[in-house]
A and B are shown apart, each in its own frame.
Chain A
Amino acid sequence: GAGVSQTPSNKVTEKGKYVELRCDPISGHTALYWYRQSLGQGPEFLIYFQGTGAADDSGLPNDRFFAVRPEGSVSTLKIQRTERGYSAVYLCASRTASVAKNIQYFGAGTRLSVL
């Protein structure tokens, strides 16, 4: 079946603008994660959803970052008043409800460039 889909693949914006990044997880996967990968670094956790609710948002760097998953499937990461330091690849991952399986499947990411 289809994997995790992220759109757009690239997003260029200006400092101070608002952006939305979309993630479409694997069908049936109830757990969804957002990570941010800066150049030369490994991905860093941002937020975790179980179903519709954000079960852990401890990785969000500040209140300009917000994510929703209203129907328990597609998720949108929203960033307000973007800064140049927010330029990174934003990754989405999903997995089944079974923690025992614990395999996260990643999308190709959205490369955000803030000019």
Chain B
Amino acid sequence: GNSVTQMEGPVTLSEEAFLTINCTYTATGYPSLFWYVQYPGEGLQLLLKATKADDKGSNKGFEATYRKETTSFHLEKGSVQVSDSAVYFCALSDRTGANSKLTFGKGITLSVRP
């Protein structure tokens, strides 16, 4: 079956530090990959996505590249801000059917200090 593994958290960084959050996946077929973010008190929001190998998704200074050879989709940001403090979820969707249900990782909490 499909699964997503995220690095263990939480992660605490100082403002302007470089961020990497690791994500690897196992899937039958050729999935689409996503990063969702959950800010305090809010619902899940799509941060970025990629649908094929070597695609790079980007949004709000965050980037992630779909690496089929390493089955990874690591999230990076060059300079984090306090407002980036949130829970980040890596997810995949199997595109072989119309369902497109999401399989999520456990999530990781990021705290950014001023």
Contact = CB atoms under 8 A, between A and B. Distances in A.
Contacts, number: 61
Contact of A103 (B46, B98, B103, B106): B46
A61 interface: no
* Chain B at the A interface: SS class: strand
B101 interface: yes
Contacts of B93: 102
A43 interface: yes
B102 A43 contact: yes
A4 B46 CA distance: 14
A56 B45 contact: no
Max chain B C-beta neighbours (<10 A), residue from A48, A50, A56, A102: A102
B44 interface: yes
Interface in B1-54: 4, 32, 36, 42-46, 49, 51
25 contacts: A3-B43, A4-B43, A33-B101, A33-B102, A40-B106, A41-B106, A42-B89, A42-B91, A43-B44, A45-B101, A48-B99, A48-B101, A55-B98, A55-B99, A56-B99, A93-B102, A99-B95, A102-B49, A102-B93, A103-B49, A104-B100, A106-B43, A106-B44, A107-B43, A109-B43
